[in-house]
Amino acid sequence: MPELSNLWFEENFEFELGRTIKIKIEKMIEQFDSPFQRIEVYQTRPFGRMLVLDGVIMCTEWDEHAYHEMLTHVPMFTHPGPEKVLVVGGGDGGTIREVLKHPTVKEAFLCEIDEHVIRLSQKHLPALASSLDDPRVKIVYEDGAKFVKGHKNYFDIILIDSSDPIGPATVLFSEEFYSSMRDSLREGGIAATQSESFFYHGDIVQKLTGYAKKLFPIPGYYFTVVPTYPSGIIGFTFCSKKYHPLKDVDEKRIAALQPMLQYYNYAIHRGAFALPSFIASRIDIQY
């Protein structure tokens, strides 16, 4: 691959809105055009290796833990004993890695539409993807919406580790999909979905939390801080059939796994649901 030491990567997702992020590139490690998208892996100067899909940053080695830990552990520690878990998207493997830290997990399905994301992540991002070889993991190359529809009353936890609402991920931001998730969860099941930035994407946040309020007894929205994502903030819609993210979170289980975690802890879990007034008033979810 050619050396790119004098070049900068500029993300294109927000570019037409007058905002972007630029990252110094040392080299392109690999580029591949799959049937679904362009996949790129870069070596960056400040953030280690970086995975990019269709010009949009998916993760960097430097800050991926802040995203993957929060998507995973907020619902996992709220549920008293998750055994069957589904991750939709997440071909880099980071979310599955976090799921498998929970000793109650017996099955962890990874439903990724693009097998080449998994292939290149296993090749170039082993710190994220090495857990995909765990015998509890079942990898399915399928459209996530179709897979969820085919598994009613099956999962304890569903985690939507999707890209932004463009291209193949668009269906994952629909009310029909949220309804399918509800049907796919067992009694007491919980889903958490990647739900963009409340600074930049308030309309999306309001729409997705609206689905959660309509379809689930205990809806919510929480966030994490990821410097290489748009605005440095990314949130998750919380959808629970039974368990409350603040009243039912298990502090003892968190303490047992704390040495394995970099970002998530009990205080962060509780604080992540405390939202700025401008977005709290829009989604109108009170705890």
Mind telling me the catalytic residues? Answer: 161
**Residue 87 CB contacts under 8 Å (≥ 6 apart), including other chains:** 95, 96, 99, 108, 109, 110, 111, 159, 161
Q: Are strands 155-161 and 84-89 parallel, antiparallel or unpaired?
A: parallel
Cite the beta strand spans of 162-287 per DSSP E: 185-194, 218-225, 233-240
Q: How many angstroms separate the CA atoms of 218 and 172, rounded?
A: 20
Q: How far is CA 47 from CA 52, 66, 177, in A?
A: 13, 13, 34
Residue appearing with tokens 């205990």: 218
Separation of alpha carbons 275 and 171, rounded Å? 27
Residues 6 or more apart whose Cβ sits within 8 Å of residue 5:
25, 26, 27
Helix (H) or strand (E) holding 247: none
